[in-house]
């Protein structure tokens, strides 16, 4: 790859990292926290499955999916503009970029969210008495939701490439049938007898 292409990939990676950090902050701000009730020196959530845990995972999944769609569209637009088409090489490059950029962005979202949403639970439990209420740290219970970012990017790139391939196949078929009909048409010039 040329130096210009490497610079473009670096800028894209930094952009996805920044988007991941921004979405990580949004994840911390929007996710409700689970209250822990202290009993016997340990913190227990109220109820068997607190809604806050599912909300944290669901919101992270939603943010990753939306970001993946945006990144997939951006990758295809940049590749089409730069390469002037959507050949197999551009599609393979787009798929690789979609996976790589998605992993970078999702990792930044997760790290930012867990760092900003962290609490020193052990220190709080040490100073708490039975019956006190503490706030649980923010974390993903289902880390697989982070894979939704690269999956959404790859899905968008795949469907855009598939639509381009279908359009190209229809155009090629129409041109072939038009050329065949011209070849089969009788000569319209009058014959001189």
Does residue 91 belong to any structural domain of this protein?
A: yes
Tell me the pLDDT band of 166, cut-offs 50, 70 and 90. Answer: low
Q: Has residue 182 been placed in a domain?
A: no
> Is 6 part of a structural domain of the chain?
no
Pairing of strands 42-45, 133-135: unpaired
Q: Taking 50 as the threshold, does the pLDDT of residue 193 lie above it?
A: no
Give the domain range for residue 112: 13-170
pLDDT in tens, 16-34: 999 999 999 999 999 988 8
Percent of the chain with pLDDT over 90: 41
Joined tokens for residue 45: 């959530």
> 88-116 vs 51-83: helix axis angle to the nearest 10?
150
- Mean pLDDT rounded to a whole number for the chain: 82
Query: 167-182, pLDDT tens digit by residue?
Result: 555 565 555 555 555 5
Q: Please indicate, yes or no, if residue 7 is contained in any of the structural domains.
A: no
Identify whether 83 is part of a domain.
Answer: yes
104 or 89: which carries more pLDDT confidence? 104
* SS3 of residue 86 by DSSP: coil
Instruction: Label residue 119 by pLDDT band (50, 70, 90).
Output: confident
**pTM for the full predicted model:** 0.77
Q: What DSSP line would sit under 126-187, residue for residue?
A: HH--TT-EEEPPP--S-GGGGGHHHHHHHHHHHHHHHHHHHHHHHHHHHHHHHHHHHHHSPP
99 has pLDDT over 50: yes
* Average pLDDT of span 116-142: 82
Please compute the mean of the pLDDT values over residues 46-64 and round it to a whole number.
86
Instruction: Confirm whether 179 is domain-assigned.
Output: no
Q: Which residue has the higher pLDDT, 92 or 153?
A: 153
Residues of the chain with pLDDT > 70, as a percent, come to 80
What pLDDT score was predicted for residue 66?
97
pLDDT tens-digit readout, 64-97: 999 999 999 999 888 877 655 556 777 888 899 9
Specify the pLDDT at position 48: 66
Q: Count of domains in the chain? A: 1
């Amino acid at each position: 790859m040329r130096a210009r292409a490497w610079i473009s990939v670096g800028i894209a990676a930094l952009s996805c990292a920044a988007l991941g950090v921004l979405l990580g902050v949004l994840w911390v701000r929007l996710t409700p926290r689970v209250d822990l009730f202290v009993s016997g020196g340990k913190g227990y959530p109220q109820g068997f499955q607190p809604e806050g845990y599912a909300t944290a995972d669901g919101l992270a999944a939603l943010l990753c999916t939306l970001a993946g769609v945006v990144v997939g569209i951006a990758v295809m637009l940049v590749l089409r503009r730069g390469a002037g088409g959507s050949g197999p090489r551009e599609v393979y490059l787009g798929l690789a970029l979609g996976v790589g950029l998605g992993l970078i962005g999702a990792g930044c979202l997760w790290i930012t969210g867990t760092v900003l949403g962290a609490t020193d639970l052990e220190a709080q439990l040490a100073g708490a008495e039975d019956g006190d209420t503490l706030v649980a740290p923010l974390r993903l219970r289902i880390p697989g939701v982070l894979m939704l970012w690269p999956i959404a990017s790859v899905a968008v790139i795949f469907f855009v490439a598939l639509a381009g391939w279908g359009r190209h196949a229809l155009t090629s078929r129409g041109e072939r049938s038009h050329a065949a009909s011209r070849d089969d048409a009788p000569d319209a010039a009058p014959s001189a007898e």
